[in-house]
Amino acid sequence: MTEPEDNRRQVLYWRLLARLFDTEEQAALESASVAVVEDIGLPSALLDPNVAVDSVVQRHPELAAEFDGLMVPEAGDGRDKAAEVRRAALVSKVLLNVFAQPPHTVTASRLSCWQSDAGWLERALGCRPGELRGGRPGGAPTGLGGTGGGGTPDLSTLLPAIGPDLGDIEADLVKRMHLREVLADPALAAKLSPSMSLIEQLLRDKDNLSGVALANAKSLIRRYVDEIAEVLRTQVEKASTGKVDRSVPPKRVFRNLDLDRTIWKNLTNWSPEEERLYVDRLYYKQTAKKTTPQRLIAVVDQSGSMVDSMVNCAVLASIFAGLPKVDVHLIAYDTQALDLTPWVHDPFETLLRTNLGGGNDGMVAMGLTQPKIAEPANTVVVWISDFYETRVEQLFESMAAIHRSGAKFIPVGSVTSAGRGSVNPWFRERFKDLGTPVISGHITKLVHELKTFLTS
């Protein structure tokens, strides 16, 4: 026999499905859902897709903690069916607000509201707001709103990856908004929150903007770049120092004195009668770091499908450029190549000089890359692309030659937090045979590879 809690949960989920696939309300499901929500002590505003989650939480602040980690599976075998009904009402709220069909006209307020609701969905999955939509690197402890200090969960164990879908919805909202008009109005522009979808649109349209609109666009781009840089800089600095170089004698100064070792080595000089230790030799700690100059050459495909990689690569290059003894060069290409090295320390200026879109001809970038490899053993070449190229075999042979020269060659399919990138299978197989498999997916994989090479 079906228990009342099971019926209540089913009513809420059937109503959710009905509203997601049909804008027309089903009277019976709506009235039944209102009765369920009110009966369990929750506000009926949870059922209204026009009410933002922020608004619900502002009126009922005790619900904020319930949304955090809401969709993360709980340990244990026991089932609390009453709690499941309550969870169904809250889950329905974030899913309906994020995935229900938006109105045809998209305003800056509407986009801002959707971004906020998407942030609550990401928090419900145990992630940082913005993390699943691409661009912002994840993997760090959450620590937001009660989600705890653990790392981001493995979303593959929860449900199919929804990050790219969230990114697609956001991109569609941005495209349907009259962005130039919004940027020209400081009050409307202030309502925009920087995101990868918005930054992509701004970079594509920057040459058509001027005056106040251009200034607001630059402000949004810089804000987003700074957000990315803050997270990436923390990841890089965790292991940015080199190994201790024991070939360099330690400086014989008091702050480097190794007191424990000095006492241990001189214990044979202990005088029991005098209760005094006579020290023949002082020992000092090794502090010199081995800092062989390393050259990092980052080559990034700036075609339309790689915009998130372009943003992340520009920021990452600037961070490594700030490390001692690291010589960073940055090249962007489509059917033409551009050496962005003079601006590598400023990712904002770098991005303003990019030209998103066009085809792929990696050989034009190779022409700028090869002359930069002066000392192969101290050089790493990172090539970021989907590798759907014009001159396929010629490009691969040039890449293989870099690998055989002794330089470290790292092919990268994407450097996003949740990108839906694809890599040319022809290249993928040949890189694997070459012993340099393609890195794809999370940007922390690339950070790890670079830190290992540059600090070894």
* pLDDT of res. 211: 92
The residue ranges of the chain whose pLDDT is under 70 are 1-2, 75-79, 103, 134-161, 235-255, 286-293, 304-307, 356-358, 414-421, 441-443, 454-456
DSSP 8-state secondary structure symbol assigned to residue 163: H
Query: What pLDDT score was predicted for residue 314?
Result: 86
Residue 156's pLDDT is: 46
Instruction: Quote the DSSP letter at residue 147.
Output: -
Q: What is the pLDDT of residue 249?
A: 57
Q: Which CATH class is domain 292-454?
A: alpha beta
Alpha-carbon separation of residue 19 from 6, 7, 12, 34 (angstroms): 20, 18, 11, 14
How far is the CA of 179 from the CAs of 194, 202, 213, 356, in angstroms?
A: 13, 9, 9, 18
- pLDDT per residue as tens digits for the range 115-147: 899 999 989 988 888 777 754 444 333 322 333
Residue 420: its pLDDT value, please? 53
Helix residue spans in 208-256 (DSSP H)? 211-237
Q: Cα(296)–Cα(56) distance, rounded to whole angstroms? A: 49
Any idea where the domains of the chain sit in the sequence? 4-233, 244-288, 292-454
DSSP-assigned letters across all residues of 37-68: HHHTT--GGGG-TTS-HHHHHHH-GGGHHHHT
Can you give the pLDDT at residue 216? 92
pLDDT of residue 165: 79
Partners of 294 in the β-ladder: 326
pTM of the model: 0.65
> What's the pLDDT score for residue 1?
47
